[in-house]
Structure 1
Amino acid sequence: MINSNGTTNYAVILAAGSGERMGFSTPKQFLKLAGRTVIEHTLAAFQDHPLIHEIFIVVSPKDRLYLEELLLKNPVPKVTRILGGGATRKDSSWAGVGAIPADALDHANILMHDAVRPFVTRRIITETIEALQHHEAVDVAVPAVDTIISVDDENFIRDIPDRSALRRGQTPQGFRAAVLKKAHELSHADPDCSVTDDCKLILKYNLGDVFVVRGEEKNIKITYPEDLFLADKIFQVNSSALEDGPPLRRIQDKVVTVFGATKGIGQAVMELGEHYGGRMHGFAASSGCDVSNPEDVRLALQHVMQTEGRIDAVVNTAGILRSGRLADRDPADIEREIAVNYLGSINVVRAALPLLQATRGGICLFTSSSFTRGRSLYTIYSSSKAAIVNLVQGVAEEAAPQGVRINAINPERTATPMRVENFGPEPPESLLTARAVAEATIKTLFANFSGTVVDVRRSSASL
């Protein structure tokens, strides 16, 4: 598979590290974070990117069997080669370069990426590939925010460079494949070459310019035990905008069940789904289906199964919002808010999971921007929305072997009856439309990812 301009983009994932600096017996790329191993998160970023055609993984021979087992359980279709790594990063990089067919070199790009950078974004990958249309090599970097010092052998400061010109390098590093192969070949014949960075090879042998693409602070490399704690926190609050997503027509002839279907976002999902040919089934408390009652949820899904014979996707938008100081609120009112907002989602998920295995379907729950920090006067609502995110992340791991996906939609302020009831009239231009959120929800239902918080913002809404 190649781009329209005739170029094939290969991603080489460097996963041969031993993780000695971690102090763990398991290499860091195989440690688990947010339901998956670090390398699985990394692979997903390149698998889901439309400009990446093939993925090579370079791994230590002793870890090859474990990696193969991971890929059997959770296939990554773009992975076409698993290569043995060398003693150094340069050796592993060479293994990736050498795997590209000779007749493809002149029409290929290589993106070298650390397996232990799981937060690489679609923007970084896209801009790296785009820059290779004009440059032989591309690095990814962020500004140096700390003062950098150079010391001598006795630990005295020798120099303090001007940090305005300094950057902290990240990956991926991108190269025109033929140029990088030539750089490695020159290094093999150079006994004085101690370079370990591929970009530095390009500079050392004057093979072209190296352009710098803006990185991101969250694109961290997991190296030390402290990085695990930071990565875990990033996963906890990490979210992504649905930049493209499957076309809405993917819902055509799909059987979709919507809870909370008679108002706001739920109603918009029903209407948009029907417009694009979905076989939509809606339930709500007003029609006798209370998500806080497990039996109501079970009977609703049973009705759909009896009618359609299958269920392809389930959406739960049901929720209530109450305000007031926690100390002043009625206990029964608190319990009702938790029952609908949190236990309701649990009831929907538990009932839906067995039914979705046959179709390898998707579930969408709803959180809000308040999940990252509790909000005064809305403590129950915000804490229940934080619980939804943790629920989604945990269930995503449990449901992965059955092929069921689950994600959380995180819309900013949206024009719904619930919002009007609680906040009164607001300028329409300051709010998302329910239809825009419905579009993102339908796309997410049929996207390949799972365990993700999907941001919906006015700037990214197309409807």
Structure 2
Amino acid sequence: MDKEKNVAIVLCAGRGTRMNSEIQKQYLLIKGKPVVYYSLYAFEMCPFMDEIVLVTGKDEIEYCRQEIVEKYGLKKVKSIVTGGKERYHSVFEGLKVIKNSDYVYIHDGARPFIDQELLQRACDSVHIHKACVVGMPVKDTIKIISTDGFAQHTPDRSTLWMVQTPQVFQYKMVLEAYENIMQNPGVQVTDDAMVVEKMGKAKIKLVEGSYKNIKITTPEDLEIAEIFCKDKM
């Protein structure tokens, strides 16, 4: 029986306007290393991960190759490709360069604190359910508001999760879903699970992630990341 193949797509093409920095958030430094390095390193060290595809902006390809992949000896990064206008375009560019994969792990490069236990939980789940995303139950009460800012409804908190990445799928399933959405550009999606739900008609299993698996979006997130990184050292 042939060994299954697992590939990670790490997205690093976003502009990060809320960071208020001329440097893209994925390349800001945490303890002297770019934010995206930590995600790439986690996949590099994952024993069942075979290959990494890094998706970035056209102007950042050489920087990523020289200052991240080569500098830190990331051997599993086999492709660095240019992303697209929207997130789902970037994911599709990553999917297109993958050959003969069984499972694909789609991850935001601005989430530096994935760990091996989280990746193993996702791996175990996708083998059973074919499509899963990591996340955590919300801690706060959530309000549904009207367009003019008034509370309309308070959903049951026990049914609400914060969705994170990686989001993991059978490769053929997610590729077909993305091929479908590229033919239907008017469909609104915010993550890979929505693409598979709408275009692949699959059910998505939620898997325990980590409250430390934050996305670096604002300057405050970077301060928190420094603390989390210090705890790991």
TM bucket by the smaller chain? over 0.9
CA contact (8 A) 2:164 2:209 kept: yes
> 1:72: how far off?
2.3
Letter in 2 for 1:116: A
2:98 maps to which of 97, 100, 107: 100
Separation (CA, whole Å) in 2 of partners of 1:136 and 1:80: 24
In 2, the alpha carbon distance for the partners of 1:74 and 1:157 equals: 49
Match of 1:131 among 125, 132, 139: 125
Q: Cα 1:40–1:206, aligned 2, differ >3 Å: closer, same or farther?
A: closer
How do residues 63-462 of structure 1 correspond to structure 2 at under 5 angstroms?
63-70=60-67, 71-101=69-99, 104-105=100-101, 108-238=102-232, 452=233
Separation of aligned partners in 2, 1:148 and 1:225? 24
Q: How far, CA to CA, are the matches of 1:88 and 1:159 in structure 2?
A: 31
Provide the residue aligned with 2:29 in structure 1.
32
Q: SS in structure 1 opposite 2:40?
A: helix
For residues 6 and 178 of structure 1, what CA distance do their matches in structure 2 show? 17
Task: Tell me the CA shift for residue 143 of structure 1.
Answer: 0.5
Asked if the contact 1:179/1:207 (under 8 Å) is kept, the reply is no
Tell me what 2:39 maps to.
42
Shift of 1:126: 1.1
Matched to 1:80, the amino acid is K
Pick aligned residue for 2:50 from 53, 56, 62: 53
**Deviation digits for residues 69-90 of structure 1, max 9, x if unmatched?**
2122222000000010111111
Partner of 1:388: none
- Alpha carbons 2:10, 2:54 under 8 Å: kept: yes
Q: How many residues align?
A: 232
- Distance in 2 (CA, whole Å) between partners of 1:174 and 1:65 is 28
1:82 is paired with a residue whose SS is strand
Following superposition, the deviation at residue 189 of structure 1 comes to: 2.1
Q: Percent identity?
A: 32
Answer yes or no: is the 8 Å Cα contact 2:177–2:200 preserved in 1: no
CA offsets per residue over residues 312-358 of structure 1, 9 Å max, x none? xxxxxxxxxxxxxxxxxxxxxxxxxxxxxxxxxxxxxxxxxxxxxxx
**Which 4+ stretches in 1 moved above 4 angstroms?**
none
SS in 1 for 2:9: strand
Per-residue deviation, 1:158: 2.0
CA deviation vs aligned residue, 1:283-310 (integer Å, no higher than 9, x gap):
xxxxxxxxxxxxxxxxxxxxxxxxxxxx
Q: Describe the shift of the 1:115–1:191 C-alpha distance in structure 2 as closer, same or farther (beyond 3 A).
A: closer
RMSD over aligned CA atoms reads 1.4
> What does residue 445 of structure 1 align with?
none
Return closer, same or farther for 1:181/1:189 CA change in 2, 3 Å cut-off: same
Q: What letter is aligned with 2:139? A: V
1:142–1:167 Cα contact (<8 Å) kept: yes
- Contact 1:39–1:115 (CA under 8 A) maintained in structure 2: yes
Rounded to whole Å, the distance in 2 between the matches of 1:69 and 1:20 is: 25
Deviation at 1:5, TM superposition (A): 5.7
- Amino acid paired to 2:46: H
Amino acid in the other structure paired with 1:218: K
TM-score (norm 2): 0.95
SS of 2:127's equivalent in the other structure is coil
Q: For 1:190 and 1:36, how far apart are their aligned partners in 2? A: 39
Pick the structure with more helix per residue.
Answer: 1
Tell me by how many angstroms 1:6 deviates: 3.0
TM-score by length of 1: 0.49
Unpaired segments of 5 or more residues in structure 1?
A: 239-451, 453-463
- Contact 1:135–1:208, Cα closer than 8 Å, also in 2: no
